[in-house]
Amino acid sequence: MSRISVRGFAVASATAVTAVGSVVGVASGSVAQNNDAEATAADAMTLLADIPVGQQAQVQTVSLAQQADAQAIAADAGAKKEAEEAARKAAAQTAIAKKVAAEKAEKAAKERAEQQAAASRNAVRDASSFAVQSSYTVAQVQAMARSMIPADQFQCFSNIVQRESTWNYRAMNPSSGAYGLVQALPGSKMASAGADWQTNPATQIKWGLNYMNGRYGSPCGAWTFWQANHWY
């Protein structure tokens, strides 16, 4: 080394690497100002001139390697950002798809429930469709009720009738005068469902069902109230 010491060569080499890197950056599209680029290029040439000719190619190679490493790091960062964005979009699309599927399932379930309710209502018989008899067994009265009351409401209706009259359509409360299957008070209220309210369980069932629907929304609504108060 004829112009600088070993220590000086190391410093000059490192500085030259940086300078040459800057020159390479300018050549590859750097946004540095023209004056800065010219100054940097001049400095690089000066520094390279201070380095033995045999070492200049090595310095340039190191600079290019640094540039390549920097570009690789930038590329990795860009790829990572794109991957994160893609994952975020995929998660959002999955969430939307699940929401849409849940809404469709809920709508389908609601439609099935409405169809079942409609089918149940259509299957209900009117009180006038039963032949009049002189008397009725408990089984016959219960069969009437099953035919007249929607399937999903029958058990609630049955629970109330069982506790009010034990399915005896002629049951009368001697204290209050309540009468019939549903213990209407007074019993004459049931005349709105038919003049034969005293002897026809179908007429009593019709009146009782209308009463529960009108006052509590349904027999099950009436049963819920009955359980809390022991009357309805």
How is the chain split into domains, by residue range?
6-77, 127-229
Query: Between 43 and 20, whose confidence is greater?
Result: 43
Distance of alpha carbon 80 from alpha carbon 76, whole angstroms: 6
Tell me the torsion sign for CA atoms 147, 127, 232, 142: negative
Predicted confidence band at 183 (pLDDT cuts at 50, 70, 90)?
very high
Three state DSSP letters for 37-78: HHHHHHHHHHHHHHCCHHHHHHHHHHHHHHHHHHHHHHHHHH
Q: What is the pLDDT of residues 75-105, one digit of tens each?
A: 888 888 888 888 888 888 888 888 888 788 7
Any idea which fold 127-229 has? Lysozyme (1.10.530)
Give pLDDT, residue 167: 98
Average pLDDT, integer, range 105-130:
66
Share of the chain above pLDDT 90, in %: 44
Contact of 219 with 209, CB cutoff 8 Å: yes
Cα–Cα dist 37/62, whole Å:
20
